[in-house]
Amino acid sequence: MSLVITKQTGNFFSLVFDGGDPIISEKNRLTTFGNYCNFKTDSGANIILKQNILVTDITVIADGTFTFVNINLLWAKLIEIGFFDGTVIAGTPTGVDRFEELLDGFTFLGRNNQVVFVNETEMKLDTTTYQIFTEAEKLKLAGIETNAQVNVNADWNEVDPNSKKFIQNKPDIDSSANTIECIRFAGLGQVYELPVDAVAIKGYINDGVQHLEKTGFTTDLNTFTQNGIEVTFKKTILTGQRIIIYYYI
C-alpha cells in the first residue's frame, strides 16, 4: 500500500494511491490517529477511497522526494509546502490543525455541567456552562407534585367530590324514560305511521339498516325522514318486504 502526494503548479496537489489514477485536489485536510492518516476535502469528504494510511507508506514530492518515519514529520512537510493553504479563507482566522498546537493543557476536574470548545483567539481549550433548563424552569419542575397528572380511571358511581375518580356535572338520567320499542309492517309503499309522540331512531328493510336523514346525507338512499307520526323511507320498498321501525316516546 502506498500513497504519493505531488505538488502541482498553482498549489494543486495530486494524490495517487497504489499506482492508480491521480486525484487532483486544492482544498485539503488531514486527520491523524497515531501513525494513521485520513485525507479529506475541505467539506470533509474522503479525497481517496482508502483511508487509515500508515505514515511510512506516504511519499511527498515537492522540490524533492520525502518519506516519513513519524506523523510529526509528515505534518511539518505538508504545512511547509502549502498542502492546507487552499482551505484558508481570506480575512478569517486560520485556527489550528491539531490539539498539540494549543497553548495549554486541559483538565475536566471541577467542571461539571460544562462543555468543551476551542478558543481560537487565545489558542486554548475552554469550557462553557451547558444548561438544559433555565433556573426558572428548574423551579417550576421542582414544584410539580410527585405523580401529578397521571391517568385516572373515572368512576360514574364515585360520590366523594375530593376523589380523583369523581365526575363533576353529571346529568340526571331517568332510567324509566325513553323506553325503546319497535313496530313491524309488511312492505306497502314508502310511508308508515307511528304511534302519537313516537320518535323514530332506526329502521330496517329486510334487515337492511335505514338511518334518520341528517344534514349532508340527503342523497343517501338508506335514510328516512319523519313528519309527525309519518315515517317516509327513501329506498324503494317492494310489496311484502319486512319493515321494522324502532322508536321511543
Q: Are residues 83 and 9 in the same domain?
A: yes
pLDDT for 69 = 94
CA-nearest of 205, 207, 179 to 192 is 205
Instruction: Please check whether residues 123 and 78 belong to one and the same domain.
Output: no
> Is residue 145 one of the residues assigned to a domain?
no
Residues 122 and 73 in one domain: no
Query: Helix or strand or coil: residue 191?
Result: strand
Exposed e or buried b per residue across 107-139, where buried means at least 16 C-beta atoms within 10 angstroms of its C-beta: eeeeeeeeeeeeeeeeeebeeeeeeeeeeeeee
Q: Do both 55 and 109 map to the same domain?
A: no
129/59 same-domain check: no
Q: In what order do the strands lie in the sheet with 23-25?
A: 23-25, 13-17, 3-7, 58-61, 65-67
Beta bridge partners of 227: 230
Which one of 24-33, 81-90, 133-142 scores highest in mean pLDDT? 24-33
**Does 110 lie in the same domain as 81?**
no
* 3-class secondary-structure state, position 153: coil
Residue 228 confidence (pLDDT): 93
Return the percentage of the chain with pLDDT > 70, whole number: 80
* 17 and 71 inside one domain: yes
Residue 164 is assigned to a structural domain of this protein: no
Look at residue 171 and tell me if it is in a domain: no
In a domain, 239, yes or no: yes
Asked whether residue 12 falls in the same domain as residue 80, the answer is yes
Q: Are residues 31 and 81 in the same domain?
A: yes
From 18-27, 51-60, 170-179, 185-194, the region with the lowest mean pLDDT: 170-179
Query: What mean pLDDT value characterizes the chain?
Result: 81
Mean pLDDT of 7-30: 87
In a domain, 94, yes or no: no
Instruction: Classify residue 38: in a domain, yes or no.
Output: yes
Domain boundary among 32, 54, 87: 87
User: Within a domain: residue 219?
Assistant: yes
Q: Do 43 and 110 fall into the same domain?
A: no
Whether residue 43 sits in one domain with residue 10: yes
pLDDT tens, residue by residue, 107-152:
555 556 677 777 766 666 777 776 677 788 888 888 887 776 667 7
Place of cell 491539531: 98
Residue span of the structural domain in which 116 resides? 102-133
Residue 163 lies in a domain: no
Residue 61 pLDDT grade (very low, low, confident, very high; cuts 50, 70, 90): very high
Work out how many domains the chain is built from and give that number: 3
* Same domain, residue pair 76 and 20: yes
